[in-house]
Structure 1
């Protein structure tokens, strides 16, 4: 075989290996935990220092930390997206009695700790990136260990019919920190009858 052909084959094998690695490589548990910890630190700094924080200046002075469940990679799931037939606009009730409009897009169906679950995926009517979804949910920890009005997840579609739901990134709405804010309440479809001990806990005032 000519040296030139050997070189071309070698290049092709390197490219193929790179493609396979890109398609199959997954985040290590250590990298995943570090990423979640970084996100939690970013969240703390926003709440503590940002001008757009829901905390008052008086609250900021005494604010020391956010409270989270331990990071558990099992609470990051890949869900199957099942389209909602006859998509329509849902008016979610807000904590102040008003409503906010979202598009009922699809259901995320998945198994968590052996339990089959599903959540309604909503999309802001003004969302520019159609791969982004809003999940408002409550579970058996709500009003006990977590905020009674439910928690939120920003979810992103990862495949043609799949989406990643990471409960370790579940966060409190602004009204959990300050009742002067109005926040969407979870739709009835997302009132889970199981505990989800992942993500942010209730804010300790």
Structure 2
């Protein structure tokens, strides 16, 4: 083995050790925050540039940035799924007075801020992936720092009897940006007295 080869191997070993050492200081929270920021950037770009965006052309041009609560990993929660005994289709009221049908599927049970919470998970009538769920909720921030008619989460079952709810990903319905859109209102089971200070804040035009 030549001296040059030995030096090269030594340098690579030092680089590998430095990389492992660096990884020890990159916490899971850091990776988590980066992932949430990436999702928020996707949301902004969709609203700003996509042809299907609820924003008008004037709104798109004026959109500087979306307003969010600071990312807080404690709002990422593992919930137990409890099947609804009387599983049936519900007519959920819309913001324009019409109704839309959703399957009353399961309850997500968890603790947050020292309180036991139970939220109703809905499933769209045309949903083909039975692991996908829709969660519309309102809380003590609704009508104050967040949109008055509530916020949404799209969830995917990731355990046999459990699901992850990440309120940092809570987003505004289309009607928060444009009143010409009709949006489902949260069912009474999902109106919380506590403040969920996570996710998207209210949209202020201009």
TM-score by structure 1 length?
Answer: 0.86
Deviation per residue, 1:171-197 (Å, 9 max, x gap) = 000000000000000000000011000
Q: Which residue of 2 aligns with 1:24?
A: none
Q: Which residue of 2 aligns with 1:88?
A: 88
Deviation at 1:95, TM superposition (A): 0.5
Matches within 5 A, 1:40-189: 40-189=40-189
Deviation at 1:164, TM superposition (A): 0.6
TM-score by structure 2 length?
Answer: 0.86
Deviation at 1:113, TM superposition (A): 2.4
27-36 or 131-140: which moved more? 27-36
Q: Distance in 2 between matches of 1:105 and 1:153?
A: 15
Deviation at 1:201, TM superposition (A): 0.2
Unaligned runs of 5+ in 1: 1-26
Number of aligned residues: 179
1:192 aligns with 2:192: yes
Deviation at 1:136, TM superposition (A): 0.2
Deviation at 1:118, TM superposition (A): 1.2
Q: Distance in 2 between matches of 1:88 and 1:137?
A: 20
Contact 1:79 1:110 in 2 (8 A): yes
SS in 1 for 2:154: strand
Q: Distance in 2 between matches of 1:35 and 1:162?
A: 22
Deviation per residue, 1:69-94 (Å, 9 max, x gap) = 00000000000001100201011000
Deviation at 1:204, TM superposition (A): 1.1
Q: Which residue of 2 aligns with 1:28?
A: 28
Q: Distance in 2 between matches of 1:181 and 1:80?
A: 33
Unaligned runs of 5+ in 2: 1-26
SS in 1 for 2:36: helix
Contact 1:74 1:113 in 2 (8 A): no
Q: Determine which structure has more spread, i.e. the larger CA radius of gyration.
A: 2
Deviation per residue, 1:114-166 (Å, 9 max, x gap) = 22111000001111111110000000000000000000001111111000100
Moved runs in structure 1, 4+ residues, more than 6 A?
Answer: none
SS in 2 for 1:67: coil
Contact 1:139 1:195 in 2 (8 A): yes
Q: Distance in 2 between matches of 1:113 and 1:28?
A: 22
